[in-house]
Amino acid sequence: MAKSETTYVDPTGVHVIAPNFKMRLSGVTSTIIQLVPVQNRLGQKVAVLGPGLPGHLPHLRYRDLWKLWKRPAGADHRVWHARRNIEMLPGIIMRDLLRMPLKLVFTSASQRKHSGWTRFLIRQMDAVIATSAKTSAYLEVPNTVVMHGIDCDKFRPAENKAEAKRACGLDPEKRYIGCFGRVRHQKGTDLFVDAMIALLPQHPGWAAIVAGRATPQHQAFEEELKSKVKAAGLADRILFVGEHKNIADWYRTLDLFIAPQRWEGFGLTPLEAMATGVPVVATDVGAFAELIVTSAGESPGHIIPKDDLPAMIAATQNMLEPHALPRAAAGAREHAQSLYRIETEVTRLGEVYTQVR
């Protein structure tokens, strides 16, 4: 969006600042883009600061930051909600050196041991949020688990699946298994392709979709996968469709989703699939197990070990059995709606903001 179209707001009415100090689109950036409109709709008075964010979000100007010395209208403090090291540090400087009335909140999605510098920054926070129980276990300070939610209005089942397939240029007579996300080794795209090469010859009514972009350093990896598919004689049934902005429309074409990642910080794709009424086979990385399996043990899908091709083939084969898929599909949408609506995430965030204020 052009600069002239950016929505700028006065800090006086802002209670929460969501800084974003990286230009490159990432999971953190996407989180901010999805959350801020809902947060404002629910009255949390949030504005963003930094590059790489769409103009329709309420932005603060850097030149207006001096106004943060004044308390916001109707509150004693503002909340500075950081999600990276480079956003925690400026918050500490403004609160502790410049004495601005700020409370600092940090959200961590990392599932590895933090560096000494990161641990130091985290200790300076007024509140810490973990995006999953796995993430919480890596934190050395008290924290609150607030799992990401999904926009269940945007990600919803197709009213007419055949028409949804036609709209994306697909064969309405076929059933589709999807794998969406960046095409690279870390994301397990090769495992998905190998599983489809093993399974599709036994299931003539099915095809597969790989949707996502291969960045320049991973294009050779993608070309190797395409060559493998062609050699298997499945180029017309394992489709590489590239990156699409209307990804919710592509979910509506699917009957099964596979999340084959070898590593993931959180991972929203299983939620997006389930909200669309599509059951999931996912590896045990990120928050996938917590997202898919309920406390009662019910699940609209399967969790398998990471980097385990035989397990992926077996779990997918089980889901393709005539009795399994309809039952799992029926529960997927209800599962996402009842537990992981984005409004629930926003409400939990608001509770943390209230605690620090």
Per residue of the chain (357 residues), give pLDDT as tens.
Answer: 344 489 999 999 999 999 999 877 677 888 999 999 999 999 999 999 999 899 999 999 999 999 999 999 999 999 999 999 999 999 999 999 999 999 999 999 988 899 999 999 999 999 999 999 999 999 999 999 999 999 999 999 999 999 999 999 999 999 999 999 999 999 999 999 999 999 999 999 999 999 999 999 999 999 999 999 999 999 999 999 999 989 999 999 999 999 999 998 888 899 999 999 999 999 999 889 888 875 555 578 899 999 999 999 999 999 998 888 888 888 899 999 988 999 999 999 999 999 997
C-alpha torsion angle, residues 313, 314, 316, 319 (rounded to 10): 170
**Residue 177 in tokens:** 């298994």
Which residues touch 73 (CB under 8 Å, ≥6 apart)? 12, 13
Fold of 3-149+342-356: Rossmann fold (3.40.50)
Contact residues for 278 (Cβ-Cβ < 8 A; gap 6+):
178, 251, 254, 255, 256, 257, 329, 332
Cα angle 307, 310, 316 (rounded to 5 degrees) comes to: 100
Longest dimension (CA), the chain: 68
Alpha carbon 243 to its chain centroid, in Å, reads 16
- Report pLDDT for 3: 45
Report the pLDDT value the prediction gives residue 329, as an integer from 0 to 100: 86
In whole angstroms, give the CA distance from residue 72 to residue 34.
Answer: 24
Crossing angle of helices 309-319/324-339, nearest 10°? Answer: 100
Q: How far apart are CA 336 and CA 307, in angstroms?
A: 26
Tracing tokens 């790989």 back to the chain, one arrives at: 210
Note the CATH architecture for domain 161-339: 3-Layer(aba) Sandwich (3.40)
Question: CATH 3.40.50.2000 residue ranges in the chain?
Answer: 3-149+342-356, 161-339
* Alpha helices (runs of H) in 19-115, residue ranges in sequence order: 27-41, 85-92
Residue 25, pLDDT score: 67
Give the single-character DSSP code of 96: I
State the pLDDT at residue 156. Answer: 95
Q: How far apart are CA 127 and CA 71, in angstroms?
A: 20
Q: What is the pLDDT of residue 4?
A: 47
What pTM was computed for the model?
A: 0.87
State residue 26's pLDDT score. 74
Between the alpha carbon of residue 91 and those of residues 80, 98, 112, 273, 357, the distances in Å are 6, 10, 24, 36, 15
Give 267-272 contacts, CB < 8 A, sequence gap 24+: 267/291, 268/27, 268/30, 268/148, 268/150, 269/180, 269/181, 270/301, 271/148, 271/149, 271/150, 271/155, 271/336, 271/340, 272/150, 272/155, 272/180, 272/247, 272/248
Beta strands at 206-211 and 175-180: parallel, antiparallel or unpaired: parallel
pLDDT value, residue 298: 59
